[in-house]
Amino acid sequence: MDADGDASPKETPKPQSKTKSKGSPEQRFTLRNPEWHYLQLQMTFNPPHPAGFTSPSYPPDLLTWKTHLDVALGRFLGISGTGIPADFLHLDADKLLVRIPHEDAPRYMAAVTGWADEIEGRNVSFRVLDSTEFLMGIIGGEGSSLFR
C-alpha cells in the first residue's frame, strides 16, 4: 500500500517522442553566403514584333544578348561592369537565364534595367523577370523543362 491507501502502483506517463516514427527526421539547413545569383531577363521591344516576325536582331541569339548586356554594363559601370562574369544558362526567344556572382547582383541588375537603345527602329531594353539565389527558385518543379 502506498501513502494514499491504494494497493495498485501508480503509472508514470511516458514522454512522447518529438520525431515522427515514419521515415527519417526532417533536416533543415541555411546557406549564409551563396556564391551565385540567378536572373531571368527579358529583352523587350517597343513597338513589339508581330507574331512570326524574324530579322537579324529578332529573336535575339546569344551573341546579340552578350553584345547588348556588355554595352549596358559598360555604360553604367564602366570597365568594371564589363568584367562581371556571367554564365548564360538557357535562352528561350527573348528570355535568358543568367548566373552571376552574388556580390555583383545589385550592380548588374541596376545596369541592365537602366539601359535602352534603338535597333531597327524599335526601342530595346531589358526587364528582370525573376531574381533569386537559388536556381530552383526560377525554374521551379524538378527542372527537367530547362534542358529540353
pLDDT, one tens digit per residue, over 27-66 is: 776 767 889 999 999 999 888 877 777 777 678 899 999 9
59 preceded by a cis bond (ω within 30 of 0): yes
C-alpha pair distances (Å), 66 with each of 10, 17, 29, 62, 90 = 78, 57, 36, 6, 13
Q: Between vectors from CA 133 to CA 135 and to CA 106, what angle results, nearest 5°?
A: 130
Note the pLDDT of residue 78: 93
**More confidently predicted of 17 and 86:** 86
Tell me, what's the pLDDT at 83?
A: 93
Q: Over range 132-137, report the average pLDDT.
A: 86
User: What integer pLDDT is reported at residue 32 of this predicted model?
Assistant: 76
Q: Indicate the fold that domain 36-48+56-138 takes in CATH.
A: Alpha-Beta Plaits (3.30.70)
The Cα–Cα gap between 80 and 69 comes to 13
Q: How confident is the model at residue 5, as a pLDDT?
A: 56
126 has a pLDDT exceeding 60: yes
pLDDT of res. 45: 87
Read off the pLDDT of each residue in 124-146 and give the average, rounded to a whole number: 79
Is it the case that residue 17 has pLDDT exceeding 90? no
pLDDT tens per residue across span 68-124: 999 999 999 999 999 999 999 999 988 999 999 999 999 999 999 999 999 888 899
Which residues, in sequence order, are bridge partners of residue 101?
Answer: 36
pLDDT at 42: 94
Q: Give residue 111's pLDDT.
A: 95
List the chain domain ranges: 36-48+56-138
